[in-house]
Each structure stands twice: as C-alpha cells, then as structure tokens.
Amino acid sequence: MRTPAIRAAAALAAAALTASGCGLAAPGSGGAGQDGPVDGPADGAITFQTWNLKADYEEFFTGVIEDFEEANPGARVRWLDQPAEGYADKLSADAAAGTLPDVVNVAPDLVHPLAEAGMVLDLDRARPGAAGAYTADAWAGFTVPGEDGTYAYPWYLNTGPVFYNRALFEEAGLDPDAPPTTYDELFDQAQRMAEATGGKTAMLGQTPGIIDLGLYGSQAMNEDGTRFTFNDAAGVEMVERYKELYDAGALVPEALTQDYTGAGEQFMSGAIAWAPGSAYDLENFRTNAPDLYENVGITEVITNTGRAHMYLQGLAVSAESEDPATAAAFAEFVTNAANQEAFAHEVQIFPSTKGSLDDPYFTEEDGTDEGRVRVAAAAQLESATSYTPVVFGDQMQNLLRDEIALAMRGDKSPQQALDDAVDRCNALLEEG
C-alpha cells in the first residue's frame, strides 16, 4: 500500500544484507577519514545513490544537487538510482567489490553489515556535532549493537495510521464510527466480524511480525542487543490471541503461505477490513481502488506501549570515498531541515530534523483526508520508535513468520513456536 517510487525506500523494506551471506570483508586502505574527523572543503567529485526515487522525483533531486554544487564551487555529484528489486543485493555486490557509492541510501538493517565490515563512516567520529541537527530517536536508529558510533545520517521518516473498510464494518454489524482502539477491542471485533459473515470476511490479513510483537509489548532483544527475547510473555500472548482469530476465520488463511504478498492487496480488494498503512496510501486508494477510497476509515495505530513504530531511511558515507569531506557535506545538505521539509511537500514522508515537525504543515489539518493523515502521523512520530532491531534481517523475518504459521495451524504451541524462532535467530546472530 505504497506509491511505486517510495515502496522499496520506505522503512517497510523486507530485504536485508546479512554479514554472513554477503561476503563482506574489512575495507582496504583506500579511503580517507576512517579513523578520525573528516573536514576540509567540499570540492570533490562524488557519487550519490538512491533507492527507486528517480522516476517520480527527478526534478526535486536534480534541484538539490544543483543547489549543493552552486554553494560548493568545484563539487560535482553524479546521481545513481537503483530499482527496488535487488537493492540489497546490489549494495552487497558493490561493497564486496569496493565500489560502494560515496553517499548511499540505506535503511537501518541495510547499514548494519556495512558498519560491521568498516565500510561506512562512523559519523560520531567523522563529523562530531552532526547529531545535533536530528531528533535523538532518528539518530539512534543508525547505531549498531556491539559497535560504538552512528553509521548514517537520518533522512526521512514514516509511520502511519490504520485504515479500515467502513462498509465491511457495517455489513458485519459493527459501528464504523467506533473502530477498535485497544487490542482487546480489535480481537473482539475481529471475532464478531467473522461470526457475522460466516467467515466470508476477515478483519486481519497478516500474522504478527517483529513490529507487531513490539507494539504489543514484547521486547525483541536484551538490553545489550546480543540476544533475541521476543519469546517473552507478551509475545506468546499475542500469538495465542492470533491463533484464536485464525481458528475463528478472522485471519485470512493465505497469510500462512510462503508466497503471500501481504495485507495491502487483501485490503485493496475488500477481502479484509483492517490494515496498517502509511501517510501516502490514500492517493493509492483514490487511484486504484475508488470504491474503497469512498469507504475508508482512518484511525490510530493500536499499541500497548504508547509508542508507534517509526520507519527510517538514511544516507551513509562510504569509508572508502576518495572525497569524504564532500560526501559527508552532501549527505548533510540533502538531510538538512530545509531539504527534508521540502521533500515532505513532494510526498507524504516526514523530516528527521529537530523542530521540523512543529511546522503548521504537520500540525494543522487542511480539511482533506491527506491532511488529517499527515497531522495524525506526525503526532505519532513525536514518540515513535523502531521495533525492528537492525540485526533482524530477512532470513530472521522468514523464520519468525514460518514458526508463527506452525502455531496458527496447531503444529506447535505459541510458546514453542516463539522459543524455536528465538533459538534459530540467535544462532544466526552468533554466526554473524
């Protein structure tokens, strides 16, 4: 449920580099700035790589590059944009070959193996004081367990409301003006919808993942970030509740299949009544599902912690860059408050810079559904956090999904399924 250009670049991206699988080795002695502050004039030639943004935002980024070059005589920026498919593999191949672009678009999970291999700058050392421009939670999103430092500049953020189908609520005898606001209410209404429709309509379209467990109150890892712990009481309780929903027909059975595409398409087609989304989904509904758009309801994310999930994108600087001062200066320019706020007017994302969310654009509704979603999402970001550990890669996500599917089918108890998922994920973590 995302626009094509942003879908892969948003923090919902599933693909992840893993240090054990991508063949990364420690960098050679080529680049400058690996061991201390990076300063000097920004007058070199660098490459800048984004993630599936050029098709829709070429004019915006061309303007940003021109502004930077004008402000820094001698600087030259060559923009590369990679497609959504295979982006993680492309980063892995470039890193292994020593051809990582000078400034590269990353999500927290993508920067993790690069940081462990020493292939991106530790910005706390390379650019002392840079952290002050960004919110603390956004800056912390690019730290790595077991490593000192921060390995990417926070760029744009997202979080989202929950969308629900008012027409399906009415058909099931539920009040479309009183959507669930707690998990108890969600599970109760999901059961009632399944009963009222004879299992024809399910409320939910996805088994819980690591983010859902976090929102419910489970702790993904210990405080040191060295072991997974999501098999705690909260995690088990959530899986137990979902098992009850699955048995009642309140969760679509397709959610347990290996090739399942997710709740978004199910919601768009009217097969389910409830789906988490993000601030830019309404335009997708208007264009591709006009009947749904006329009946869509918008409500807040349900959480037991009081904190929504924050999706985060960033810009990392290659430790092998021949012009690290130019690269770092450009990354700071792209992610400064003015440019982040301008980008937020191009697409429904949110800046990570301090004070930016105080702008009336993010605090005052303009009478449109989009404005309502934007203001609600911005308010959520005030306290949002990331529930996905940077070390929780794609293989681990698949393991958790598979174990929960076994619990849904009754092949394992919820406790055993999460115990096994934790054991297997910790084994992968130890392999590193």
DSSP letters spanning 92-135 = HHHHHHT---SEEEE-HHHHHHHHHTT-B--HHHHSTTGGGGB-
Report the alpha-carbon distance of residue 211 to residue 233 in Å, rounded: 16
All CATH 3.40.190.10 domain ranges in the chain, comma separated = 4-159+311-381, 162-307+388-431
Q: What is the pLDDT of residue 144?
A: 86
Q: Edge-to-edge strand order for the sheet containing 153-158?
A: 76-82, 45-51, 103-106, 311-317, 153-158, 350-351
Q: What is the pLDDT of residue 6?
A: 41
Q: Considering only the top CATH level, what class is 162-307+388-431?
A: alpha beta
Q: What is the pLDDT of residue 257?
A: 80
* E strands in 140-282: 153-158, 162-165, 274-276
Query: How is domain 4-159+311-381 classified at the architecture level of CATH?
Result: 3-Layer(aba) Sandwich (3.40)
Q: Give 162's strand partners.
A: 276, 299
Q: Give 272's strand partners.
A: 202
Closest to 312 (Cα-Cα) out of 84, 59, 134, 133: 134
Report the alpha-carbon distance of residue 117 to residue 19 in Å, rounded: 8
Q: What is the pLDDT of residue 369?
A: 82
Strand pairing category for 76-82 and 45-51:
parallel
Give the single-character DSSP code of 84.
S
Q: What is the pLDDT of residue 208?
A: 95
The answer to whether 8 and 98 are in contact (CB under 8 A) is no
Q: What is the pLDDT of residue 219?
A: 97
pTM (2 decimals)?
0.85
Q: What is the pLDDT of residue 26?
A: 39
List the chain pLDDT tens, one digit each, 432 residues.
433 334 333 333 333 322 223 334 333 333 444 568 999 999 999 999 999 999 999 999 999 999 999 999 999 999 999 998 899 889 989 999 999 999 999 999 899 889 989 999 999 999 999 999 999 999 999 998 878 899 999 999 998 889 999 999 999 999 999 999 999 999 999 999 999 999 889 999 999 999 999 999 999 999 888 999 999 999 999 999 999 999 999 999 888 886 676 788 889 999 999 999 876 788 889 889 999 999 999 999 999 999 999 999 999 999 999 999 999 999 999 999 999 999 999 988 999 999 999 999 999 999 888 888 899 899 989 889 999 999 998 899 999 999 999 999 999 999 999 999 999 999 999 987
Report the alpha-carbon distance of residue 403 to residue 408 in Å, rounded: 9
Dihedral of the alpha carbons of 319, 325, 327, 332, in degrees to the nearest 10: 110
